[in-house]
Chain A
Amino acid sequence: MFEGLFTALRDEGVPVALDEWLMLHEGLERDLHQSTLSGFYLMSRAVLVKDEAHYDSFDIAFARYFSGIEPAGEAMDDKVWTWLHANPRFLHISEDQRRRLDEMRDQLELDELLEKLKEKLESQEEEHHGGSEHIGTGGTSPFGHSGYHPGGIRIGGQGRWRSAIQTAGERQYRDLRTDHEIGSRDFGVALRRLRQLSTRLDGPATELDVDDTIRQTADHAGQLRLSFRRPRRNTVRVLLMLDIGGSMDDHIMLLDRLFTAMHQASHFRDLQVRFFHNCVYDRVYLHPDMNPRTSESTDHLLAQVDSDYKLVMVGDACMAPTELLAPGGAIDYQHMNEIPGAEWLQSLEDHFRHAAWLNPHPKRWWDTIHGAYTLGIVRQIFPMFELSVDGLDQAVRHLMVRR
């Protein structure tokens, strides 16, 4: 039952495991949805979705499966939703109707569309009572009421909750998605992903485990048995390099705050932050004001930080090709670099065992954006991730892989 919903969820990227699908059917058998569509909406979400970041995708899939109209949040759709809500029996339409509806959507004005929908509903009403496919009463369709269908859903009645489809159509969980560009609203979620930048698991067992020592000693009738465990301290050290002075300042400063907040909670053993403009050359800056007096030579930096620091580069990697490839290409003209930026980037990458580049531009733009050429080259030097919560997550995983 409801295989279409399963498919729709998968298409939207909501992972559903077999156990979860079975759990849903157990719930249906037990009528935990109380034979209502709203009940089914809430039950299926509770059983199938395990991350609020997927609530929005779930809503899209649910609404699409049950109505054939994808909620887009535009004014027109809002009206359609309201209309559908008032005419709940239209909520299930056949493939054929769906196709025609899609065609109409492009061709007709909203009022006309609603008119057509109404006609469809009326003709359906005349034709399909007692049928098995369309909505009606007394039939075996899973929709409508007074009919019989195992695990069927009653539409209408029970006005206590708003229509599930309408709720789904409102997409109120859009803000919880994690695949959009990071903003200050995502601070908490992003911080959570960042917390995975922590070593609890690797490292040698060097700390005396008192409890276990006592236990082992007791088990061995009082003969001392020492037991050691891995220290709980986070041993991760991070070098964060931020591209400042570009169009991406907001994102960059957000990242700065994010890592600092993480560090304050004493999560890193050390955090070093440096700034650059578009690309790294022979000097990097200690402060975002990029004052040469508080700069340091890149070689000096590399001598200071061990190769076990995790290097996190943040920038859009979009620049003029010369900035990346030519000696003297640095954007700040008073700065004459003898070695091209790309070579500096390569030495950075070579120096560290773990490095990742976070790009504030969404990944889907990377190939076509203005600056795609240099972005492509930088991407060959560094593994690049987009600066969404999901991208951050992947980057962190990448940084934590054991080498």
Chain B
Amino acid sequence: MTNASFRGTSDYIASPDLQAAVNVAVSLERPLLVRGEPGTGKTLLAEAVAESLGMRLITWPVKSTTRAQDGLYVYDTVQRLYDSQFGEGDPADVAKYIRLGQLGESFAAPERVVLVIDEVDKADLEFPNDLLWELDRMSFHIPETGETVAAKQRPVVIITSNAEKELPDAFLRRCVFHYIAFPDPAQMEQIVRVHHPEVEEKLLRQAMEGFYLLRELDGLQKRPSTSELVDWVQALAVGGIDPDTIVDELPFMGVVLKKQADLDIARRHMAIRARRAAMQQERG
């Protein structure tokens, strides 16, 4: 197996740390667990990896009700019952009622694919534990048909987490881990440019300044992330806002801060700032 080489894509900026983590995970054939604040590009990473390695992407979005079994296969008993009651189809053929889940599909694929298990921490605590065996062996058994689904090529597995819950140690031990740190201004600028290549230099600078100012406010419930800045720059550009007013007036603040309590904090901050500026002016 040659060593992988992921360097980001034209649409996705990956830091050297992240590149290294991806490449180590791909080469060692271990799941890559990426954690980071919301909006730091975890989900997008899987797309970028698939694109850059030329592999198909299979997405398994996890919800609070998702069970590990759902990713392996579902046995459509209702359809079978229906068929047997109403004499449609052939209920004796059990295999017909077995549908592979995303994990199953990624094993069954003839080529090597990228599987993203998105937001693993949404599910119950047992969810990751229930997946351990299958992720290790990359195979599982379907008792209903007596069939075994085994990976022809171990898929590249990317698991994302918002860190809502802690994950079990046994699970963590098997993963390669990367924490996507919040981008520093230089990297942030690159990211925004990927999305808005045409953006005016001055507007971008002022928007960044305003954004980091808002983000650093004390006591925010949800600190704004990359995607909020990307949207904000768009709003500012479309709204034809004069760049010189951005930092002072913070227009379209609701695009950046989503919680009412956070907006209140920001407004208080602006009021204080305005008062100070006025006092300064009085003093001359």
Contact = CB atoms under 8 A, between A and B. Distances in A.
Nearest to B79: A218
A291 to B, nearest CB: 24
- The B contact surface, by secondary structure, is mixed
B236 interface: no
B175 A32 contact: no
B28 A23 contact: yes
Interface of A: 17, 19-20, 23, 26-27, 30-32, 39, 42-43, 45-47, 49-52, 55, 160-161, 173, 176, 184, 187-189, 192-193, 195-196, 200-201, 214-215, 217-219, 222, 232, 254, 257, 261
- The A contact surface, by secondary structure, is helix
A261 B221 contact: yes
Given A26-B28, A188-B37, A232-B64, A46 B20 contact: yes
Interface of B: 3, 16-17, 20-21, 23-25, 27-28, 30, 33, 35, 37, 64, 75, 77-78, 80-81, 85, 124-125, 163-166, 169, 172-179, 181, 218-221, 223
Contacts of A50: 33, 172-173, 175, 177
26 contacts: A17-B169, A19-B173, A27-B24, A31-B3, A39-B20, A42-B16, A42-B20, A42-B24, A45-B17, A46-B20, A46-B21, A51-B172, A161-B16, A173-B181, A184-B219, A188-B223, A192-B164, A195-B164, A200-B125, A201-B125, A214-B78, A215-B77, A219-B77, A222-B81, A232-B64, A261-B221
B27 A32 contact: yes
B178 A46 contact: yes
A27 B75 CA distance: 40
B27 A30 contact: yes
Nearest to A42: B20
A388 to B, nearest CB: 16
Given A196-B165, A261-B221, A32 B28 contact: yes
A283 B225 CA distance: 44
B204 to A, nearest CB: 25
Contacts of B223: 188
Given A30-B27, A50-B172, A52-B179, 14 more contacts: A20-B173, A27-B24, A32-B23, A32-B27, A42-B16, A43-B20, A47-B176, A49-B177, A50-B173, A51-B177, A195-B164, A214-B78, A217-B81, A218-B77
Nearest to A18: B173
Contacts of A173: 181
A254 B221 CA distance: 11
A17 B165 contact: no
A201 B129 CA distance: 15
Contacts of A46: 20-21, 24-25, 176-178
Given A42-B21, A184-B218, A52 B77 contact: no
Contact of A32 (B3, B17, B33): B3
Nearest to B222: A188
Nearest to A40: B20
Nearest to A175: B181
A187 B124 CA distance: 23
B124 to A, nearest CB: 6
